[in-house]
Structure 1
Amino acid sequence: MVIEWLKIEVPPEIREKYIQKDAEIWTAFLATCPGFLGKEVWLNPNDPTAVTLVIRWETREHWKSISSERLQQVEEQFDQAMGYSYPIIDSAEYQVRKFPQV
């Protein structure tokens, strides 16, 4: 499993709208993509502007197989729904390592 980790800075007063629209647009789109396993939204109680998205993929190949054109279309749809573009301020990729049961 591969984790896509994204941190977005969102004004606290629109954070709930951002999370709702993200679920309606981005998560709905990702759910149609092969290899998508799920998504979580993490909120930092010490930083009300931080929204962290943790997206689980079966393999890196599944994740990276999504066309840039399609990603751009979904991004434009999301930005239009929000009325503004909220850039990703940090991102990372993680591989989940499983250990055998002893």
Structure 2
Amino acid sequence: MIIEFLKFQVAAGMEASFIEKDAEIWTTALAKYPGFLGKEVWINPHDSTEIICIMRWATKEQWQAIPPSELEVIEQEFNAALGNSYKLVESNEYQVQLNQN
């Protein structure tokens, strides 16, 4: 399993809108692709303007198979809904290593 890790800085007062539109636009779109296993949204309890999105993918190949043109359309829709109220500040990927007990 691959974890897609995205950290956002969201304008104060826009946190609820960001989370709502993220679920409505991004999560709905990603759920249609093979290999998408789910998503979590984490909010920093000490700074509510810091939001982390964790997407779980079955394989890196399935995640990377999403056409960039389709991602651009989704991003444009998200930007249209939220404007300049957020900024992506970190993007990483992690591989889940299961313990072999």
What TM-score do you get using the length of structure 2 for normalisation?
A: 0.94
- What is the one-letter code of the residue matched to 1:95? Q
Counterpart CA distance in 2 for 1:85 and 1:76 is 14
- What is the one-letter code of the residue matched to 1:38? G
Partner of 1:68: 68
* DSSP-derived class of the 2:33 partner: coil
- Root-mean-square deviation (Å): 1.1
* Deviation of 1:85 (Å): 6.0
- What is the one-letter code of the residue matched to 1:21? K
4+ runs deviating over 6 angstroms: none
Counting matched residue pairs gives: 101
- What is the one-letter code of the residue matched to 1:86? Y
* Deviation of 1:52 (Å): 0.3
Counterpart CA distance in 2 for 1:10 and 1:99 is 36
Superposed counterparts of 1:12-91, under 5 Å: 12-84=12-84, 86-91=86-91
* Deviation of 1:11 (Å): 1.5
